[in-house]
Amino acid sequence: MDAASTMEIKDNTFSRQFETIVDQGLVSVEYSFQEKKIFLTKINVPESFEDEEFVSNFLKNIMEIAIEQKLKVVPILPKIVLFFKKNPIYKELLPPGIRL
């Protein structure tokens, strides 16, 4: 089963983060909005959590949310820049002028 299609993501607007629950606890990606752009600023994972593929699937789900809401995505974190480099399909979400 594809984890990306079954992942439940909550957009916690109060905490300004996307959240999902794993066995070890909460995984979240913090964001801020500016105009029609979403800035992905931080990834939080439980201390013992090291599943990079899960984090990648989580980010893919967030990209789908951005597509649905017609948002541009500004990757602030090196890990998210790396995600865009590994997943060029999402480069259309980058605002004009952002080069990776």
Predicted confidence band of residue 5 (pLDDT cuts 50, 70, 90): low
Query: Percent of the chain beyond pLDDT 70?
Result: 94
What's the pLDDT tens digit per position in 70-87?
Answer: 999 999 999 999 999 999
Residue found under tokens 């992942």: 7
- Count of C-beta atoms within a 10 Å radius of residue 59: 24
Query: Percent of the chain beyond pLDDT 90?
Result: 87
Answer for the pair 81, 91: CB distance below 8 angstroms, yes or no: no
Please give the CATH number for the structural domain made up of 9-93. 3.40.630.30
